[in-house]
Amino acid sequence: MRADDTAVVWKALADPTRRAILDLLADRARTTGELSGAFPEVSRFAVMKHLGVLETAGLVVVRRRGRERWNHLNGVPLREAYERWMRPHADRWAESLLRLKETAERQEGAGMTTTLEVEQEVVVAAPREKVFEALCQMGEWWPHAFREGATVHLEPRVGGRFWEDWGDGDGALYATVTGIRRPEQLTCTGPMGMRTPVTGVFSMELSERDGGTLVRLSHHAVGPIDDETRAAYQSGWVGVFDALRGHLGLTG
């Protein structure tokens, strides 16, 4: 995101209703009808207009299921705006601002949930083939690990492992590659580090956009997932995008 591109994000965040919509989406994806019902004092037309502003700013990603329009929070523009304007001047706030769970009101008494739905996207200023090759080298730049000093590996083929090596035959399997179509899509199935019995799938789809590459991430999981874990994975994927761009030698 270029410096002038953050203006549309700040404009979208300036409205309290739009901020409230993002708070709701930080908890989980919601249909347009659900969001309209959450604001009885606002007309459905006005809610849809607010969603249009958020979608234009890249803060909301829309996926359609039949006749339903599902709205997902996209944390990437929030991170980019923060990195551009706030981190250099207020780094002491970084921890709280980087955690998406701090931007959402936690429902009182909320406990375990049964689903995780992350939908994020970012434009990377590099050719699609180069970005896909970087994804196939994910083990070289993956920013998360269970243990200090561990190495991460991805075998970019169907049936290949995405795993963390602790040495001496010890380690943890994140996922197994279940689909690969160069240079368009990489899909993996597995718990992705969740300690509870969870079944999950994440997929990255690549398409050409504005001289660069649009990377669309979908991560869906089913199982006992608490609020802290859900928020951690929302923000964790933003960190993955940062690491990907760093691997490609990009800073913004």
Mark which of 53, 73, 103 sits at the end of a domain: 103
Q: Give me the helix-helix angle, 6-13 and 16-27, nearest 10°.
A: 100
Does a structural domain hold residue 72? yes
When divided into structural domains, the chain yields a total of: 2
The model's pTM is 0.64
Is the domain of 88 the same as that of 143?
A: no
Is the domain of 34 the same as that of 88?
A: yes
- In this predicted structure, the answer to whether residue 186 has a pLDDT above a threshold of 90 is yes
Does a structural domain hold residue 230? yes
Determine the pLDDT at residue 84. Answer: 66
Mark which of 55, 83, 103 sits at the end of a domain: 103
Domain extent at residue 211: 113-247
Does a structural domain hold residue 214? yes
DSSP strand pairing (161-167 vs 151-154): antiparallel
Q: Terminal CA-to-CA distance of the chain, rounded, Å?
A: 6
Mean pLDDT, to the nearest integer, of 80-90? 60
Mean pLDDT, to the nearest integer, of 112-127? 85
Please list, in sequence order, all residues whose beta carbon lies within 8 angstroms of the beta carbon of residue 153, skipping any fewer than 6 positions away.
139, 161, 162, 163, 164, 165
Is the domain of 179 the same as that of 156?
A: yes
- In this predicted structure, the answer to whether residue 2 has a pLDDT above a threshold of 50 is no
- Nearest of 251, 199, 196 to residue 225 by alpha carbon: 196
Does a structural domain hold residue 108? no
Please write the tens of the pLDDT for every residue from 122-146. 999 999 999 999 999 998 999 988 8
List the CATH number of the domain containing 79: 1.10.10.10
Does a structural domain hold residue 252? no
Question: How far is the C-alpha of 131 from the C-alpha of 209, rounded, in Å?
Answer: 12
Is the domain of 90 the same as that of 12?
A: yes
Q: Using pLDDT thresholds of 50, 70 and 90, give the confidence band for residue 86.
A: low
Q: Using pLDDT thresholds of 50, 70 and 90, give the confidence band for residue 202.
A: very high
Length of the chain in terms of residues written: 252
Determine the pLDDT at residue 210. Answer: 86
Is the domain of 11 the same as that of 90?
A: yes
Is the domain of 93 the same as that of 167?
A: no
Mark which of 103, 133, 148 sits at the end of a domain: 103
List the CATH number of the domain containing 208: 3.30.530.20
Q: Which two tokens stand for residue 161?
A: 């492992």
Which of the 8 DSSP states describes residue 250? -
Is the domain of 36 the same as that of 63?
A: yes
Is the domain of 97 the same as that of 160?
A: no
Is the domain of 153 the same as that of 223?
A: yes
Question: How far is the C-alpha of 65 from the C-alpha of 31, rounded, in Å?
Answer: 10
Is the domain of 175 the same as that of 87?
A: no
Q: Which two tokens stand for residue 52?
A: 């249009």
Determine the pLDDT at residue 228. Answer: 86
Mean pLDDT, to the nearest integer, of 55-67? 91
Is the domain of 138 the same as that of 224?
A: yes
- Nearest of 43, 42, 46, 38 to residue 22 by alpha carbon: 38
Is the domain of 99 the same as that of 143?
A: no
Q: Is residue 244 packed enough to be buried (19+ CB in 10 Å), middle (13-18) or exposed (0-12)?
A: buried
How large is the greatest C-alpha to C-alpha distance in the chain, in angstroms?
61
Question: How far is the C-alpha of 46 from the C-alpha of 135, rounded, in Å?
Answer: 40
